[in-house]
Structure 1
Amino acid sequence: MDFRASMAVNNRKTKLVVVTYIAIMLLVGLLSDIAFRPLSNNGLLYDMQLYITFAAIPYITLGILTCTLIGIIIISKFGHKMMLSGSQYRELNSQTELAAQDRQVVNMVEEMAISANLGYVPRVFVMETEQMNAFAAGWNQHNALVAVTSGLLDKLTRSEVQAVIAHEVGHILHGDSKLTLYVGILANVILTLTNILGRVFLFSRSKNNNANKAKMLLLVLNFVLPILTQVLYLYLSRSREYMADAAAVQLTGDNQAMISALQKISGDYDVHKDDQEKYESFTEKYRAAAYIFSKGDSLFSTHPSIENRLKKLRGE
């Protein structure tokens, strides 16, 4: 299998999803502007064109873009810190004396960071839990981190742990944490606005046909967008998992280690699935989308099924 080609395909899918989100956000903004301040009776497209060309200032659309930008700035600064909150963890510092297992983990992260040409080494954390999992967060030298569970370190071989770490470094290399955070903000801004406007316009009428058409479309979008944005977000998440799997193979030169690691992690999940309810905090749900493994096989799953991931890794 050509893993570079696989990453290129998933990258194109990602761009399509992001463009779709931006288009939806602009559509909602322009419809809102027309609903509140119609410019003519010559049809929605004509009024949209007037707003897009700034023949009239699209205040609501600009407000949406401003709120989105503020959200992105806030999440960029603090979002990665949420990934570790609510869990027991310890940081592994290469400058201090470490146990043999911990030293090995730090060395692996350093090796994979060099192989990926990151230009820096992410911080390394171990989460104290018997469950086998790992995640990455951040996208630069100031916020990037790789975290693995103690259960994963105890139950996987060295080559399997290295494959898992390579997968997580792949997420950092591709900017997946930043991408999913940004798309999440776009989705929340869109849904919040359509929900508010849907309630405002539910019983309102205007003498202007364009305003009434815009209100009707916003009411329809209020019901459609929660499902559509969720499906798009999860599709994006699954695509990025395939890319990270491919990156792991590229960085280690070994698809068998990644295959074996995923099989063991999946089997371990089945053994401990009854314990999952203990970890259903908000922060755990937030982390779940970033884990290397999460159970599921549907449009509403954050990760591809283990079977599909293994097929991709085997080149089937």
Structure 2
Amino acid sequence: MRFFEHQQAARARSLRLVALFALAVAATVLGIHFALLACWWLMNAWLPIELPLPRLFLSVNVGVTLLLVLGSWWIEASNLASPGAAQRLARRLGAREARRGDGAAEQRLCNIVDEVAIASHMPRPQVMVLPRVQAINALAIGMAETESVVMVTQGALDWLTRDELQGLVAHECSHIHEGDTRLNMQLAGMVGGLELVWRLGDDLREHTALGTLAGWAVMAVGSFGWWAGRALQAAVSRQRELLADARAVQWTRSRDGLGGVLRKALMQRQQPGATASDPAWSAALHHLLLVGTSERGGWFDSHPPLATRIRRLYGRTMPPLPLQSGLASGL
């Protein structure tokens, strides 16, 4: 795998997609203003007299829309910006701290995190385990390297070899090193703000005739912004996953480590009722997982399909790997 080329391509695509996201937000803000302006013109066409346009019409329209979008972004970002916020979120998800003396699997995990942190020249993240989750998965959260957490599921500890677990940890540390957690949470906050714009239009419809007309106009423009924001956020997330895959290969100098993780996750996904055993991750956390919750490859999927990621690692299609205990591979 030409990991440096893949990293440069993923970063370039991510930058273009973030720019498109900003344009979608700007188009939504201006679209709301012009939609409300059109409603004002229509109302004047129905009335026997022409009413002057209210003062600060543009400023209020733009200001309220930006307040909803940027306010939601600020709330989402500040929730993880305070000291210890990532650890508190991890505990709410059911995670606990990994303990070196609590069995060979957790001892091995802590050793690997130490090694990857040294290899990547970054502060060691706090290591936590999701003990009741049998799906092979992991996620990294935290707005800064010094306040970050890597969570690994019990299924990953049970089924992955040492090399595979190293590839998994390197992938998650790449997300922390590249600021992907911060980027994803900020985009998720703005998508939430775009949804609030749509809901504002829905609320306006319940009042006067003018409110109904304005409500439909705001809903039409808000729905464009919301759907465009969701699609672009998912596209950014897919590129950051490919970037983290390439970075993991660079740091571990092995495609079989992360490749084995993805191939075993694919085998687990193909078992009957596998997705039903996954935890009910919130929409904001979908973008932070190692293995996504959907394999359809649609516009709104936060991860590329596992088969696509495996093919990029190996340059060809590879079969799933059988699930076997990985604890015999050493500490």
TM-score, scaled to structure 2: 0.75
Mapping of residues 92-103 of structure 1, within 5 Å: 92-93=98-99, 97-103=101-107
* Alignment of structure 1 residues 112-261 onto 2, 5 Å: 112-118=116-122, 120-128=123-131, 129-197=133-201, 200=204, 218-261=218-261
For 2:33 and 2:260, how far apart are their aligned partners in 1? Answer: 54
In the alignment, the residues of structure 1 paired with residue 281 and residue 161 of structure 2 have an alpha-carbon distance, to the nearest angstrom, of 31
* Higher mean C-alpha displacement, 216-225 vs 180-189: 216-225
Distance 1:227 1:157 in 2: 40
Q: Which residue of 2 aligns with 1:291?
A: 289
Equivalences, count? 294
Cα distance between partner residues in 2 of 1:91 and 1:37? 55
Inter-CA distance 51–253: structure 2 relative to 1 (3 Å threshold): farther
Using the TM superposition, give the Cα deviation of residue 61 of structure 1 relative to its aligned residue in structure 2, in angstroms.
Answer: 5.2
State the distance in 1 between where 2:98 and 2:310 align.
Answer: 31
1:90 aligns with 2:96: yes
Deviation at 1:5, TM superposition (A): 1.7
The secondary structure found in structure 2 opposite 1:76 is coil
SS at match of 2:92: coil
Root-mean-square deviation (CA, aligned residues, Å) is 3.4
Task: Measure, in 2, the Cα distance between the counterparts of 1:57 and 1:196.
Answer: 12
Alpha-carbon displacement from aligned partner over 1:209-240 (angstroms, at most 9, x marks no partner): xxx9x988644323333332222122122111
Gaps of 5+ in 2: 42-55, 317-331
How big is the shift at 1:135? 1.5
Q: Sequence identity of aligned pairs in percent?
A: 22
- Asked whether the equivalents of residues 164 and 261 of structure 1 are also in contact (C-alpha less than 8 Å), the reply is yes
Counterparts of 2:209 and 2:235, CA distance in 1: 36
Q: 1:253 to 1:282 in 2, by over 3 A?
A: closer
Structure 1 counterpart of 2:97, one-letter code: E
The answer (yes or no) to whether the contact 1:14–1:239 under 8 Å persists in 2 is: yes
Deviates more, 1:14-23 or 1:233-242: 14-23
CA distance in 2, matches of 1:275, 1:11: 32
TM-score, normalised by the number of residues in structure 1: 0.78
Q: Counterpart of 2:270 in 1: which secondary structure?
A: helix
